Structure 1
């Protein structure tokens, strides 16, 4: 099974995983790593490497909050130098985490990445007020 690390600034990771667990329970091989004000890039790197070891899997998807931020850059740097197959995505949202965590069984990392990207996009919805139009000239009475 592909392991998933959620990471981001502040308590983004543990906060969004708290919400995900409330909705979907506690999926296996899913962890959160925060980058708080007390961390440095070096401590973040140590935390992510420890998370990779904890997942104990060869394929890992890292879901980061922002492209270009420290959690994203550190994860990408680790991914490039790791002997494990690691992919990093940004723009993580709650729907993306829940769907990806629950529907990754039997998929390889490339399939999980494609699914996560699509799920993240389709999780974004706009509320639209629908107004019923009355039919004024209805000769059939319907």
Structure 2
């Protein structure tokens, strides 16, 4: 099974942990690391490296972070650059993280990345447009001259 490490600013990771547990139950090989104000980026990287080692069973590790280019993402990127079989998605959302729990068994690390990117993109919706589409009147079918 692919190991997952979720990280983000302040309580992003612990908030996601609560939500994932409510949706998917307690997860093995899944760690959540908050980057809190009292922590240096060096301390964050140490915790991320430890978490990656804890969740790695040999099938790879996927980091899911909150903001592309933010400290959790940058530190995970540093780990990805010097460690084999690690991937990183910056800008992860709850549907991606919850689905990672369900989709990570029996697939390659790259297949999981591709699946989660599709899920993340498809879950973002303009709800006004969705509502307008549902509320739009049904088109009236025109009667043909022969009555059929």
Calculate the TM-score normalised by the size of structure 1: 0.88
Match of 1:7 in 2: 7
Matching residue of 1:132 = 137
Tell me the distance in 2 between the aligned counterparts of 1:137 and 1:15.
Answer: 53
Q: What is the deviation of 1:134?
A: 7.8
Change (3 A) 1:6 1:133: same
> CA RMSD for the aligned pairs?
2.0
Say which SS state the counterpart of residue 100 (structure 1) adopts. Answer: helix
Note the alpha carbon deviations across 1:19-77, whole angstroms, 9 max, x for none.
Answer: 11111112221111110001101110111011012113230000011111110010010
Bigger Cα displacement from structure 2, 42-51 vs 120-129? 120-129
Higher helix share: 2
Whether contact under 8 Å (2:5, 2:31) holds in the other structure is yes
Q: 2:96 aligned with 1:80, yes or no?
A: no
Alignment match, 2:52 = 52
Residues 67-111 of structure 1, C-alpha deviations (whole Å, 9 max, x = no match) = 1111001001011112x3111111111111111210121101111
Contact 2:6 2:31 in 1 (8 A): yes
Task: Tell me, in whole angstroms, the C-alpha distance in 1 between the residues paired with 2:29 and 2:68.
Answer: 23
| Secondary structure of the structure 2 residue equivalent to 1:105 | coil
Aligned twin of 2:111: 111
The TM-score, its normalising length taken from structure 2, stands at 0.85
CA distance, structure 1, for counterparts of residue 20 and residue 51 of structure 2 = 19
Asked if the contact 1:95–1:119 (Cα under 8 Å) also holds between the matched residues in 2, the reply is yes
* Residue segments in structure 1 that go unaligned for 5+ positions in a row: none
- Unpaired runs of 5+ residues, structure 2, are none
Tell me, yes or no, if the aligned pair for 2:24 and 2:101 is still in contact at 8 Å.
no
